[in-house]
Amino acid sequence: MGSLFRSEEMTLCQLFLQSEAAYACVSELGELGLVQFRDLNPDVNAFQRKFVNEVRRCDEMERKLRYLEKEIKKDGIPMLDTGESPEAPQPREMIDLEATFEKLENELREVNQNAEALKRNFLELTELKHILRKTQVFFDEAVPASNV
């Protein structure tokens, strides 16, 4: 890991990588935490870049993870913090992760919808139970009065 001091000696380099090796090289450099990337094409629109689809997929997976984390914290479930960052997954593993996150998000949304429906049903049935009790008391009081 690099030093946190600003006076750390640095070197400006330009890397030329083959497309096939770019992911592995960039992920390894990122895990080392010793590099900072500069955009050499700041005038290029984000949607015109080469790996825009991969970035979008990663953003979508990050959104799903944030949703899962929010729901976990909302229910007070403790989360294990290892303090370590996992290694960057290989591109073929990304497909599996994406499918897993999609499945978890859909299942959790379905569970939340079912819980809401159960809560509404419970409240509705509780209300009906109270109505029946009140009407029973009303009729019980009305019957002796009619006998008099």
The proportion of the chain whose per-residue pLDDT surpasses 90, expressed as a percent, equals 44
Give yes or no for residue 1 having a pLDDT over 80: no
**Which pLDDT score is estimated for 120?**
98
Domain ranges of the chain: 20-77+89-147
Range scoring the smallest mean pLDDT among 5-14, 34-43, 120-129: 5-14
- Answer whether residue 147 shows pLDDT above 70: no
67 and 61 in contact (C-beta within 8 Å)?
Answer: no
Evaluate if residue 2 carries a pLDDT over 60.
no
Residue 33: which region, alpha, beta or left (left: phi > 0; alpha: psi -120 to 50)? left
Q: pTM value?
A: 0.71
The pLDDT value recorded for residue 79 is: 87
What are the structure tokens assigned to 96, written together?
């599996």
Euclidean distance between CA atoms 123 and 100, whole angstroms? 34
Residue 100 pLDDT level (bands cut at 50, 70, 90): very high
d(CA 17, CA 35): 15
Angle at 119 between CA 114 and CA 121, to 5 degrees: 95
Interval 75-98: pLDDT, tens: 999 988 887 888 888 888 999 999
